[in-house]
Structure 1
Amino acid sequence: MNNISGYTLCWFLTSVLSNHIHEMTNRYACLRALRVDLFYKRNTARFQQTDYRQLVYEVRLLMQETMKQKAVVGYFWVIEWTRAHGWHAHVVFWLDGHITQTTWPVAKKVLDIWSTITQKEGGYHRCEYQEHYQANINLPVYYNVPLSITNIQQVLSYLAKEEQKDGFYLFGCNEVPPRPASGRPRKYPSV
């Protein structure tokens, strides 16, 4: 996985995330990635907590509810802590590119679900492409276009950074279902 962020990548999380991306692109011909940051608003009881377990529980609830959305086919999340932001999560949701061409309806639904789960104490930031970024979250990920896979690996490398984890790795991802036996056999580009 390529690191463009200037952070030190954790070899373990990098391996897990790379494997997850590989499994997702092996299963789905076209994916869209929705990246969000989840946190607790300042001056709330949840923000004042010194325990990560509440956030883990609520992030898992969010994943469970979001996976019920038609276009959502997967997720990967990590939890970190900083003095300024407290416990917070970095999340990617995988959307089936054959079902949807845009991420904003799911982004809106995620915000609504998160707000309900956290009783409006949860904050949410949608991570979007900016011109100075070297990789683009808005590009679709195709199983047979290696550059699209490299691009999403660069975008998501931030989730595997060592900083703000202090050797304490809290993460989760979906089980990737096997590819159906029906359909055309895939053709991969020759290397």
Structure 2
Amino acid sequence: MYQYAYHDTPTDEEMLDWLGGLHGGEIISNPLGQPITMPSDYHWRKDLVWVDHQLKAMADARQILDHQRLIQPEAFGAEMVVLAPDPLLETLTTVFTVLVTMLHETDIGQYYRPSPYATRFMWAFGQCAHLQKVGFHQPSTMSRQAADQAVTDLNQRLEAWYQSMKRPDFTYECNRNRRNSFNNYKRLCELMRALFSCHSRLMVVRVDLGYSEFDSPYIDYETARYHREQLCLAFNTHSLFKHLLGYAWKLEWQSKKGFHYHFIFFFDGHQCQEDITQARLIGEMWERTITGGQGRCWNCNLNADKTYHYNAMGCIDYHDSQKQRGLFKLAKYLTKIDEYAAMLVNGRTFQTSRKPSINDGQRRGRPRLYQSSPLNYGNTDL
């Protein structure tokens, strides 16, 4: 059975520090020792992810509170009692405090999409008087009858929360990301098939565009989206993208890396052949021009043959089934919805360029020996 670890539950001092920073940032030092302010959004993102981890752990364990062990005399022989320290109770209190503050006490919640675990937790515990009292005020002593009623109420709410996660609508909501991934995969596969129908050779370039370790905590979604939009605007104006035929991007979020994008570009393989150089130049544009030095780029085309078992980087001819197989492997990875990004933003987390039609361009080269591209073996099952 899963055991709740005490080190996963914030101490009173940590809780006070967290509550003190609800409406502002935390003072830290930069690498030069100069004081700077950590934005509160950074903490909210980490708090929301932490809450989701805790709720999933509780849902798997399905524990309840033990009246006999929890209710203890305030002192030896005293009639008044207190609730003894308990990992499950402390986790309930902290999760409740974070969600209530985020969703009801501030306007932070409008920018995020809590998981189905969190929304059902608030349905079950949102009006819990005991958690409201201990979460936002100093816990006090109570009569044994009041304590017994408080624990009974908490267990009834826990059981209601557990039961709510057995409903079909909960499963449907949890599978939302899987459905979105499936649809995104179909869209990307259709784009690739259409491009190979119009062009006999594509040059595939993939870059991961993010931010430096120091800057990433300061980059909120709006900033990351603005940088991505600026890059996409360059597709129509900058000579670097003169032979760009199509693209796709996916937004992700990680605790250390923050918001970052995975981009895949499809260039005309008859006009562009230096894929590593092309990826490097795109990265330099992101780092220097788009983000003003805050950005960082990972060139996935560099040493791709040694890095990827199914290498889909560089030039791919329409009849190269091996590389196209790698392209489908890559498409599945690129279209898998990032769970954290889906929670932390209300906007789009994946997009492809418009799918071309046969009339959009003339197929280059001699007539094909095959009427269809080997790309038709792609399986859309995730």
The TM-score normalised by the length of structure 1 is 0.79
Q: Which runs of 5+ in 2 are unaligned?
A: 1-177, 375-382
Shift of 1:145: 3.7
Higher helix share: 2
Partners of 1:145 and 1:189 within 8 A in 2: no
Shift of 1:130: 4.7
2:330 aligned residue: 155
Partners of 1:144 and 1:187 within 8 A in 2: no
Partners of 2:200 and 2:318 within 8 A in 1: yes
Query: For 1:185 and 1:158, how far apart are their aligned partners in 2?
Result: 33
Letter in 2 for 1:59: R
Q: Which range moved further: 101-110 or 66-75? A: 66-75
Partners of 1:40 and 1:47 within 8 A in 2: no
1:34 aligned residue: 205
1:177 aligned residue: 356
Partners of 1:30 and 1:143 within 8 A in 2: yes
- Say if 1:40 and 1:141 are closer, same or farther in 2 by CA, change over 3 A: same
Partners of 2:249 and 2:350 within 8 A in 1: yes
Q: Which has the higher contact order (CA 8 A, sep 6+)?
A: 1
Query: For 2:342 and 2:284, how far apart are their aligned partners in 1?
Result: 32
Partners of 1:141 and 1:152 within 8 A in 2: no
Q: Which range moved further: 86-95 or 98-107? A: 98-107
229, 243, 246: which is aligned to 1:60? 229
1:4 aligned residue: none
Partner of 1:140: helix, strand, or coil? strand
2:218 pairs with 1:48:
yes
Shift of 1:148: 3.1
2:277 pairs with 1:108:
no
Query: For 1:75 and 1:166, how far apart are their aligned partners in 2?
Result: 20
Query: For 1:160 and 1:181, how far apart are their aligned partners in 2?
Result: 29
RMSD: 2.8
Q: Which runs of 5+ in 1 are unaligned?
A: 1-7
2:310 aligned residue: 135
- How many corresponding residue pairs? 182
| 1:95-147, Cα deviation, whole Å (9 max, x unpaired) | 11101222133223212321211011011111131536321133532233443
Q: Which has the larger radius of gyration?
A: 2
The TM-score normalised by the length of structure 2 is 0.42
Higher strand share: 1
Partners of 1:66 and 1:110 within 8 A in 2: no
- Say if 1:181 and 1:71 are closer, same or farther in 2 by CA, change over 3 A: closer
